[in-house]
Structure 1
Amino acid sequence: MLLTLIIRSVQVIKVQEPNYKFERTGEDNPFFGSFVFEPLERGFGLTLGNSLRRVLLSAMPGVAISAVRIKGVMHEYSFMSGVQEDVLEILMNLKSVVLTTTEESPEPVVLTLSKKGVGPITGADIEEASGITVVNKEVHICEITDEDIEIMMEFDIKVGRGYDRNWKGNGNESLDTMFVDGHFTPVQKVSYKVSDARVGQDINYDKLILDIETNGAMLPEEVLKFSSKMLREYYNFLTNIEVDVPRLSHDFQLEGSQEENVESNDDITIKDLEFSVRSRNCLEIGNIKTLGQLADISIEELMQIKNFGKKSLTEIREKLSQYGLKLKDDREG
């Protein structure tokens, strides 16, 4: 039952909208993206990073092979003459097949594979249908070693979210049906890092770096947008809770962009940071006054400064890491 909210007066808490930057790094992996959000109110970097990571890893939608039938095979512990892999290994390889859909297809969808003669069988040999396509056509399924052998397979395709290892069919499958764990999520890896951000001379803000890698069924920006929508819908549900509050009520909103107020961490002065006395004196001797100057120095140049040693080098690396920076040699290495 919903309670009634009596609002006598409302105080609106306004927070500047953070800036957003997206980079698709690595030419060899087009399905990796790095998202940067700054500045965030202190503590919200961890709040957003952790909640998004949990949703991305556990709740993303997708399509996957849920069951397999191989002609002449009754169970997964069988061996096939003229085939290099046993059936269990073939099923494991099929878990690596990445599928995507270009249209809304009614379940169940069945894909087929048929091949005869010596040679490898890959994802490219799966006959696509009903808008279901194979993303990684190069993925290895098995190897035929006898030219007289013909392999025929059927794949049941299921729509799901996250990971499902409990699917055992609906009871109408034939006895030779072998079930496969459903790897529906297109997200392979998610990591986040929270460091300090600066607005003017105030460094009491968070910077969130969120790295997302997918299997190609969806792009990193797609899964981030979808996960954000899921969280938003749940939070919208919570805002509908009504309660009788005969006192000052509060509201919250983001407003505008503060791009003009955000300064690069490169401009943070060494004297504003907490360094050990030895490290601070060494940096003063080297006439290094900002983090940007420090990040452009090589390790060899630092080690030439009087009294600068390995402990100071470790401390400087840790401090730069807190602000999303690295030494020149660490970036090039």
Structure 2
Amino acid sequence: MKTIKTEPYIPEDVKVEEVGENRITITVAPFESGYAITFAHPLRRLLLSSSVGYAAIALRIEGVTHEFDSIRGIVEDVSQFIANLKHIRFNIKDKQNDSSVDLSYNFKGPMVLNGRDLVNDLTDIVNPDVYLATINENFSLNFSLVIKKGIGYVPSEEIRADIPEGYIPLDAYFTPVKRVVYDINNVLLEDNPNFEELVFDIQTDGQIKPLEAFKDAIAVMYKQMSIFGVELNEISTPSRNTEDSGELRTLLMTLSSLDLSARCFNCLDRSGLKYVGELTLMQENDIKNIKNMGKKSFDEIAEKLQELGYPIGVEISEDLVAMFSRKLAKLKA
């Protein structure tokens, strides 16, 4: 006899395993039948389309006027140089001011120019062995780059109007996620073989760790779906159980999923804080008194909590606090 349910089963088991360089598997179970694909497909799309990365968007080479020009002092022509450049993956070192950097380089031949040669005080290269060009003897190659932070793919035609004069626009491949596949397997739960296990296989290029990319995709999904909570509340009030369930998920969001600045996140992490709910239960002075908490970091936290619908000092129902406390104790056990 089939059990009559009033709500779907909520998965409880999550396992993360490193299976290679910048590659992990994430296993989540058990899902009700049909639920695994419901979450798998949109998360895969978000990982591929919404993960933040860095790319060169503009290039200027001394003595070069357009992308079909040639350079006497190097083996490659400009178009091949650009093709090689697109394979080099940058990382901006200053995560608090990482939206854009301008770089200038000067190299004198003879030498083989690789990705590692582009490392400087502003940027790292995550694939240092990538070949860029061969510079001939007694020739100096001078060029400048604009590196931007972004998501997805932006063709050079859409960039042309936004770059400095004299620069060649480049197709920008921001996406740091190289590969996302998933498998769905049947698992047994309480003698029922129709539950599902979802296994993600995620690989990045090194600009971002795959687990961080996955958390960011979850955060994007939360933000995209939050509009329904705002708009629908004006139409009707959800049942208490539905409301508490959604609010509990928000409180259980990890702080690492909020896209906080490195300084702000490290301050909270060193204090042992991991979840949004822990911050919502603190008063304003308690947050300000966290060690190394500056005004800028406090303002950033206040803004994030406001976006989530939990401004600092907001009153939370005793039932929700109790549910969160029980779940938190289990997570930290």
Answer whether TM exceeds 0.5 for this pair. yes
Q: 1:63/1:242 Cα in 2 relative to 1: closer, same or farther (>3 Å)?
A: same
Q: 1:107/1:211 Cα in 2 relative to 1: closer, same or farther (>3 Å)?
A: closer
Match of 2:329 in 1: none
In the alignment, structure 2 segments of 5+ residues that lack a partner are 249-333
TM-score, with structure 2 as normaliser: 0.66
Match of 1:125 in 2: 117
Shift of 1:174: 2.3
Match of 1:139 in 2: 130
Shift of 1:56: 0.6
Q: What is the one-letter code of the residue matched to 2:74?
A: V
Q: Deviations over 1:200-231 (max 9, x none)?
A: 31011111111111000001100000000110
Match of 1:154 in 2: 144
Shift of 1:129: 3.6
Shift of 1:237: 2.1
Separation of aligned partners in 1, 2:239 and 2:100: 55
Q: Confirm whether residue 20 of structure 1 aligns to residue 14 of structure 2.
A: yes
Match of 2:60 in 1: 69
Q: 1:224/1:244 Cα in 2 relative to 1: closer, same or farther (>3 Å)?
A: closer
Answer with 1 or 2: which has the greater Rg.
Answer: 1
Q: 39, 43, 48: which one pairs with 1:48? A: 39
Matches within 5 A, 1:220-299: 220-240=210-230, 241-242=232-233, 251=242, 253=245
Contact 1:162–1:185 under 8 Å retained in 2 = yes
Match of 2:181 in 1: 191
Q: 1:46/1:15 Cα in 2 relative to 1: closer, same or farther (>3 Å)?
A: same
In the alignment, structure 1 segments of 5+ residues that lack a partner are 1-10, 256-333
Q: Confirm whether residue 101 of structure 1 aligns to residue 92 of structure 2.
A: yes
Q: 1:172/1:247 Cα in 2 relative to 1: closer, same or farther (>3 Å)?
A: closer
Shift of 1:247: 10
Contact 2:51–2:213 under 8 Å retained in 1 = yes
Separation of aligned partners in 1, 2:238 and 2:18: 49
Separation of aligned partners in 2, 1:66 and 1:101: 14
SS in 1 for 2:76: coil
SS in 1 for 2:83: helix
More helix by share: 2
Q: Output the aligned Cα RMSD.
A: 2.7
Match of 1:181 in 2: 171
Q: 1:244/1:173 Cα in 2 relative to 1: closer, same or farther (>3 Å)?
A: closer
Shift of 1:236: 2.4
Contact 1:111–1:127 under 8 Å retained in 2 = no
Separation of aligned partners in 2, 1:189 and 1:108: 26
Match of 2:308 in 1: none
Q: Which moved more, 1:110-119 or 1:206-215?
A: 110-119
Separation of aligned partners in 1, 2:210 and 2:67: 35
Shift of 1:249: 7.8
Separation of aligned partners in 2, 1:247 and 1:214: 39
Contact 2:73–2:141 under 8 Å retained in 1 = no
Separation of aligned partners in 2, 1:217 and 1:24: 17
Match of 2:102 in 1: 110
Shift of 1:96: 1.0
